[in-house]
A and B are shown apart, each in its own frame.
Chain A
């Protein structure tokens, strides 16, 4: 695959990613995120170009891309919603939210709404059981969701005005924008908003109040 699918600016950025590592093949994962930031998903062009860049067989790059569910091999929405359906979130309402959104969006797992704005998948634990049930959008946290709040999110997202995450940055960024962050290019928003919420710190504050520290 030639470099024709990528601008020289994009190629420079890929070279920056590769330069971070003593062995170039280590760059395969951020590069896959970077390809997602360009096309919205991992395209064949992207896999072939990464293989060429890193001197890996395309089969090897494809193996990595297919192993991790965060890499998408077909387009997802501008807002990619993940509903945790592991045990705790599921019983706290995750299953109900998932099935409600499925109807609302009109698609199955990993499917995209007809307007291309939102897509849906059920995800495994995102380490936020204290905020169950949890919804992730473009890997930002939406805590303590209900069927109503989730459906409201989808409606607003479709009009281009998604509500802000309950933790993390003040404004939700798009799938592509966040993919670029995952590729290792900071958007400067890492310290925006709260990172550890009340529920996570509850035990700590209890302990402090009990005078046992």
Chain B
């Protein structure tokens, strides 16, 4: 015995007569799982702190022959040496206790399984069958509540079904940091609830629906839509951001009815955000493109056959003076690879850019030469996490949960450099350094305490300040800290890896490196590749005369992009009608994520593969590009996603990079602000006017409101009161929204970048760093 204690931190015990050895601190219920013994439970969840709330997991325990006087909750008791546990399988006492608890839990439960969303996949239903009495002795009147209560526009609560396990309240408090739902009242009236004036507007609220072990919490969108046994479930990957969540897509008769968080301990654990869970109707929206179109001479779009549309597109591309490819950030690795190869072979150019958004040349150099290496694991192990131009709760919510977990569990130090102190920054208890877009370089100098265990996470928005990406990369390198670049969209890391950018070939190979070109020529079986570095997005918009758009929304690029595109010949490949099809001469429909196979790379570069969840005639971009290339007699030979994947696998990673790409920023630029002026700052909120959220009204109901944020001093100087309508203007355009006092510097005004009434990219010359005037609306 003493040997064991001194030589190991493992504990050996017996459960139902079987010996099992587990690490010290393991709960009895987990140790039993290891033996394959299932103890029924509701409140127990491996990622939440033990609660012992439901009492369903009662077992008989003795330690070295001394028995507990009554059955114990196995979800709260850690194992001990010499412990002997008897579950319902070997102890009549435990079995009777569990049956008694089940009978109590069911006394007020309505047993409305036939009309309950959870019926068929319900732990209460299942365990009532496996560990309950067939009959209840209760003959009284069941307690009822008004139902359902909408605790937010997305989550509905049926209180009479609740067994008070506190999974939802513990999740909200411990994992999401949003303790907006609590157990209220006491005794027979105890119930889950919100504070009446404050709805459950958490970005992670959908997880509570998923982990509710009964049908008490249901999603407004899925409620009464399907029975679980009519659904076909497919493992999938989330297409919304670069967090890389594993997902499950549930489909009935070819239509996605719901999406759930998948279980990947190295990425999203078992959680996801509400956008990933509840924004999927876009793929079945009315404005889906279902057939090719050609614009006729009078400028009207008409339906066309595939051969005609392909031949028209091929003609346009072959006759171009300067053809180019612009891609959105949502393509899969295989599709991006298709665009990359198509540009090089069919268009014989490097004029391709996946950054159909704000971009800079410094960013392109950064992407080609910096080697971001941080992972989720590094966040778990970090001594300090620094966030620059990156608001994880809005821009990569699972990265946020991971940082928050380390903050909660082990007080991880976090530094945030951002224009305003966001709710996320507050939840992370971060050291907040306020810095306007354009002025972050000074703020970086204030960051200290960086070691080789530190992690610097930099967002896509860093490109908006000249020199910032360079400085941060140099800072990380000099301290040996891990660096992570976290773009907003799911497809960007894959597009970069596929070489869908003017200075890179597949596998991060520089266009300018002859050896790199030879590598690619070998795989592609060709003799020559274009050698001139390709144009960037802005140059393509300016100079190219024929552009192939792959999933591009002009309103994401700039306020002038749409008019620039309208002067060119456009071939648009897209899933829905939008800004790109408005200016297109040929439209080719492609498959949405649920209709195709593919792979995203998350921000770590980890592949997130998925297979099609619904049957569809729509084809992945790479297939259509291959047909178009054939039509042009310049084949790229990628007839399937699989073919693309196989070819990508033939490229090794190119680790070499140049060291002299860095750009030094100015940092001292003086904007000469007048008394009524401030510098515009913005980022996109998680829930906003993003096009993949269209039609999701329940989701939109929990979005944070559009505000204009100023600090108190500035507001007082301008004689503005919190809550009143104020206006910011520049370039003879303006937007207005209610004023909110925020923690920031006096010269900063903050507005959400793409929220209702505040779509900055398509409105102002730049969505950040410009001078705007602030006044009463």
Contacts and interface: CB of A to CB of B under 8 A. Distances in A.
Interface of A: 44, 47-48, 56-63, 66-69
A56 B184 CA distance: 15
Top-9 shortest CB links A-B: A63-B182, A59-B195, A58-B195, A66-B184, A57-B179, A62-B195, A59-B182, A59-B180, A67-B186
A62 B194 CA distance: 9
Contacts of B178: 57
A63 B198 contact: no
Interface in B716-732: none
B195 A47 contact: yes
Given A57-B178, A61-B195, A68-B186, 16 more contacts: A47-B195, A48-B197, A57-B180, A57-B182, A57-B195, A58-B195, A59-B179, A59-B193, A59-B194, A59-B195, A59-B198, A60-B182, A62-B182, A62-B195, A67-B186, A69-B186
Nearest to A66: B184
B183 interface: yes
Interface in B149-194: 178-186, 193-194
Nearest to A65: B184
Contact of A59 (B181, B185, B186): B181
A48 B196 CA distance: 11
Contacts, number: 38
A69 B180 CA distance: 22
Contacts of B197: 44, 48, 58
A58 B201 CA distance: 13
A94 to B, nearest CB: 19
B422 to A, nearest CB: 16
Q: Determine which residue in B179, B180, B182, B186 has the highest number of CB atoms from chain A within 10 A of its CB, and name it.
A: B182
Contacts of B186: 66-69
A57 B184 contact: no
Nearest to B189: A66
A58 to B, nearest CB: 4
A57 B200 CA distance: 11
Nearest to A57: B179
A67 B179 contact: no
12 contacts: A56-B179, A57-B178, A57-B180, A57-B198, A59-B179, A59-B180, A59-B181, A59-B193, A60-B179, A62-B182, A62-B195, A66-B185
Contacts of B182: 57, 59-60, 62-63
Contacts of B183: 63
A62 B185 CA distance: 9
Contacts of B184: 62-63, 66-67
B574 to A, nearest CB: 42
A68 B186 CA distance: 8
Contacts of A69: 186
A113 B572 CA distance: 74
A67 B193 CA distance: 12
A28 B374 CA distance: 41
Contacts of B181: 59
Contacts of A68: 186
A54 B181 CA distance: 17
A16 B194 CA distance: 29
Contacts of A58: 195, 197-198
Contacts of A67: 184-186
Nearest to A62: B195
A109 to B, nearest CB: 13
Contacts of A62: 182, 184, 195
A57 B194 CA distance: 10
A60 B178 CA distance: 10
B34 to A, nearest CB: 36
Nearest to B198: A58
A120 to B, nearest CB: 19
A35 to B, nearest CB: 15
Nearest to B199: A59
Contacts of B198: 57-59
Interface in B460-477: none
Contacts of A66: 184-186
A69 B179 CA distance: 22
A66 B183 CA distance: 9
A172 to B, nearest CB: 28
B150 to A, nearest CB: 15
B185 to A, nearest CB: 5
Contacts of B179: 56-57, 59-60
Contacts of B180: 57, 59
A168 B193 CA distance: 39
Q: Determine which residue in A59, A61, A67 has the highest number of CB atoms from chain B within 10 A of its CB, and name it.
A: A59
Nearest to A2: B722
Contacts of B185: 66-67
A2 B606 CA distance: 47
Nearest to A55: B426
Q: Determine which residue in B178, B180, B186, B195 has the highest number of CB atoms from chain A within 10 A of its CB, and name it.
A: B195
B408 to A, nearest CB: 15
A44 B198 CA distance: 12
A59 B181 CA distance: 6
Q: Determine which residue in A44, A48, A63 has the highest number of CB atoms from chain B within 10 A of its CB, and name it.
A: A63
A67 B180 CA distance: 16
B519 to A, nearest CB: 56
Contacts of A60: 179, 182
Contacts of A57: 178-180, 182, 195, 198
Q: Determine which residue in B181, B185, B186, B197 has the highest number of CB atoms from chain A within 10 A of its CB, and name it.
A: B197
